[in-house]
Structure 1
Amino acid sequence: MNAIASVITEAVEAVRVQFADHRVDVAPDGAGGVFITIQDVSVGHAYVPQTTWLGFHISAAYPDADVYPHYVGLLTRVDGQRHGPAIQAPGWRGQPALQISRRSNHRDAAVDSAALKAGRIRRWLADQ
C-alpha cells in the first residue's frame, strides 16, 4: 500500500471540518488516495429519504485531479419524476448507490477543494 500524501491528509481534514456534525469514514484506496463516506447528509425535501450518505474518491493525483464522481445512497424523488441525466445508479464500493456526475470543467486546483466540491454536490441535490 502506498503512503498517503500530506495534501490528501489535509483534504480529508478539510472534509471533516466542512462536515463537522457528521461521521466521516475514510478508507485508503491502496494507491495513495482515499475513499470518503460522509454519513447522514441532508439532501432536502425533494427526496426520500431526506438524509443519506455521500461518498467520493480522492485519488493520489489530487489536487491536480477533480474529485469526481460522487455517490449517494438510493434516493427516490418525492414528485415521482425520474432522476435527471446527471444521476445514474451503478452502485459504489459494492453497495447500491446513485452516481452524481457533476464534473468541474473550470476547476482551479488552488481553490476547488474536495470539501468544497462535496458541499456543492449536497447543495445541488437539495436544490433539485
Structure 2
Amino acid sequence: MTELTPAVTTAVDAVREHFAGKPVEVTPDGAGGAFVIVNDIEIGPGYIPSTTWLGFHVSAAYPNADVYPHYTGRLTRTDGQPHGQAIQQVDWQNRPALQLSRRSNGWRVGIDNAALKAEKVITWLSIQ
C-alpha cells in the first residue's frame, strides 16, 4: 500500500482541524491519496436526517486537482421535493449515498483546499 503524499497528509490534517470534534475516517487509496469521511455533519432542518456524514476522495494529484465529487448519507428533503440534478443516489465506499456534483472549475492551488471545499459543499447542500 502506498503512503499518503505529503500534500494529501496536509489536506487530511486541515480537514481534521476544520472539523475539530467530529470523527474523521481516513482510508488510503493505495496510490498516495485518501478517502475521507467526516461524521456528524449538520445539514439543517431541510433534510431528514438533519445530521449525516460527508465523504470525498483526495487524490494523489492534490493540490493540483479539485476534490470532487462529495458524498453524504442518503437524505430526504423535508419539503417532499426531489433532489436537483446535481444530486444523485449512488453507493460509495460500500455505503448508500448521495453524490453531490459540485466541481470547482476555478480551483486555485494554494488558495482552495479540501477543508474549504467540504465546507462550501455543506453550505450549498443546506440551502437546496
Shorter-chain TM-score bucket reads over 0.9
Specify the code of the residue in structure 2 equivalent to 1:58: V
Contact 1:44–1:125 at 8 Å: present in 2 too?
A: no
SS at 2:120 equivalent: helix
Task: Give the CA deviation at 1:3.
Answer: 2.2
What pairs with 1:52-91 in structure 2 (closer than 5 Å)?
A: 52-91=52-91
CA displacement 1:65-108 (0-9 Å, x = unmatched): 11000000000000000000110111101110000000001110
CA distance in 1, matches of 2:61, 2:71: 20
2:95 is matched with 95
Task: Give the CA deviation at 1:8.
Answer: 0.8
1:127 is matched with 127
Contact 1:32–1:59 at 8 Å: present in 2 too?
A: yes
Specify the code of the residue in structure 1 equivalent to 2:123: R
Task: Give the CA deviation at 1:6.
Answer: 1.1
CA distance in 1, matches of 2:19, 2:96: 23
Contact 2:63–2:113 at 8 Å: present in 1 too?
A: yes
SS at 1:105 equivalent: coil
Contact 1:87–1:99 at 8 Å: present in 2 too?
A: yes
TM-score scaled by length of structure 2: 0.97
Tell me how large the CA RMSD over aligned residues is: 0.7
CA distance in 2, matches of 1:21, 1:119: 15
TM-score scaled by length of structure 1: 0.97
CA distance in 2, matches of 1:125, 1:26: 23
Contact 2:26–2:34 at 8 Å: present in 1 too?
A: yes
What pairs with 1:34-49 in structure 2 (closer than 5 Å)?
A: 34-49=34-49
* Structure 1: gaps of 5 or more residues: none
SS at 2:9 equivalent: helix
Identity %: 56
Is 1:104 matched up with 2:104?
Answer: yes
Task: Give the CA deviation at 1:22.
Answer: 0.5
Contact 1:47–1:77 at 8 Å: present in 2 too?
A: yes
